[in-house]
Amino acid sequence: MHTEYHKWFSPNLQRDMEMKVYGHSGFPMLVFPTSMGRFYQYADQGMIAARQGKYENGELQAFCVDSVDEESWYNKHIPPHDRILRHMQYEQYLLQEVVPVIRRMNASSQFATTGCSFGGYHSAAFGLKHPDLVSHIISFGGAFDIKQFLGGYYDDNAYYNNPIDFVAGSNDHAQLERFRHQKIVMATGETDICLDQNLRFAEVLSRKSVPFWLDVWGDGTGHDWHWWQEMAVKFL
């Protein structure tokens, strides 16, 4: 399998950031790690191996990025306002630095965001804020509400980075139409700790007439990598 490792100093984040690429062509996916995860986590947890043939055959290409969750949502040493601002710097890093690299390597008309658990949050938050760029949002066991990290603090920046709220609050016809052209998958399990957030987000999307596929797995399916590997086989 073709793999590439990239590292550079990010002007937006003022620190080194790393990325691993798997596959040489095909459907491009921007892959987010789980909470405070690293760029190598997705592969280390068997998610690349679960679809190895597709990567080797040029059907899938994964661009696995680092997170800065420890400096943003999970950083209780700074005020909530600053946590949100750090996340917004991360978003600019993705838009101005990562996406151009992906587009130079893969000019497909399709572009997915995907991730598991808190990576599902990043997939939805970034994908729905940029529907002209992102055609597919694929979440496994995703979380979609960041209020839990803010201790009661909430401002416009929090709102626009909280997909479960900004979709619910959108009355912009053009924006809603862009959402409706996206392919949104939320796969979760009947015992998943994030099941409720998936059900709530599905209700929000339904109220806004935004198509989605909510797939709740039975047989005790919960919140862990071996289930997400199986979901990858079904949805990727």
Q: pTM score, two decimals?
A: 0.97
Residue type, position 105, single letter: M
- Walk along the chain (236 residues) and give the pLDDT tens digit of each residue: 999 999 999 999 999 999 999 999 999 999 999 999 999 999 999 999 999 999 999 999 999 999 999 999 999 999 999 999 999 999 999 999 999 999 999 999 999 999 999 999 999 999 999 999 999 999 999 999 999 999 999 999 999 999 999 999 999 999 999 999 999 999 999 999 999 999 999 999 999 999 999 999 999 999 999 999 999 999 99
8 A C-beta contact, residue 36 and residue 74: yes
What digits encode the pLDDT tens for the residues 26-81? 999 999 999 999 999 999 999 999 999 999 999 999 999 999 999 999 999 999 99
Domains and CATH numbers, the chain: 3-235 (3.40.50.1820)
pLDDT for the residue numbered 38:
97
Residue 9 backbone zone (phi > 0: left; psi -120 to 50: alpha; other: beta): beta
Q: Which residues of 104-120 are buried (b: 16+ CB within 10 A; e: fewer)?
A: ebbeeeebbbbbbbbbb
